[in-house]
Structure 1
Amino acid sequence: MYIILVYDVDEKRVSKVNKFLKRYLLWRQNSVFEGEITDKLLENMISGVNKILKDQDSLIIYKFKVKSYIENIILGNDKGNTDNVI
């Protein structure tokens, strides 16, 4: 499946959440990740990030069965450069 993940967390945890999510997904922009992921890896990711989040934090995952349903239009600087992805 393909997911887009967005989060809003306290400044104290931003770095930790960002670093953790980079293990699973491609960082696209501040507080935004996306990528292909299996059901099992998604479960692992959710379990792990839940240990970091606090009550006032928010994380939303948009799930798509296939990536072909998504069309990106990027204006300005594309922070999610994929040149180093094999």
Structure 2
Amino acid sequence: MFVVLVYDFAQKRVNKALKIARKYLHWVQNSVLEGEISDANYIKMKKELEMLMNPEEDSIILYTFRTKKYSKREELGLKKGGDENII
């Protein structure tokens, strides 16, 4: 599946959240990652992030698609992620 992850964590946890997410997805912009991921790794990533987060202060939004074939992505302005993240 193809996933876009958007997160907003408190400053004291934000670096740990990014480190966890980068194990599974490609960083494309501040607090935004995307990429292909297996169902098993998706569950694993969610559990790791849920264990780190404080639901009173932090939030995560996950957009899932069966495939990236039917998605379109446009970049405007400063490019923040690496070149390997181009879809």
Q: Is the structural similarity TM-score above 0.5? A: yes
Displacement of 1:82 after TM fit?
2.5
Structure 2 equivalent of residue 44 of structure 1: 44
| Structure 1 residue runs of 4 or more that deviate by more than 6 Å after TM superposition | none
- TM-score w.r.t. the length of structure 2 is 0.90
Structure 2 equivalent of residue 65 of structure 1: 66
In structure 1, the gaps of 5 or more residues are: none
Count of matched residue positions in the alignment of Structure 1 and Structure 2: 84
Structure 1 residues 75 and 21: alpha-carbon distance in aligned structure 2, compared to 1, 3 A threshold: same
Distance 1:83 1:37 in 2: 15
AA partner of residue 68 (structure 1) = K
Distance 2:44 2:13 in 1: 19
Q: Percent identity?
A: 42
Displacement of 1:65 after TM fit?
0.6
| CA deviation string 1:34-70 (max 9, x = no partner) | 0000100001001111111002210010000110121
In structure 2, the gaps of 5 or more residues are: none
- TM-score w.r.t. the length of structure 1 is 0.91
Structure 2 equivalent of residue 54 of structure 1: 54
Distance 1:60 1:6 in 2: 5
Secondary structure, aligned partner of 2:13: helix
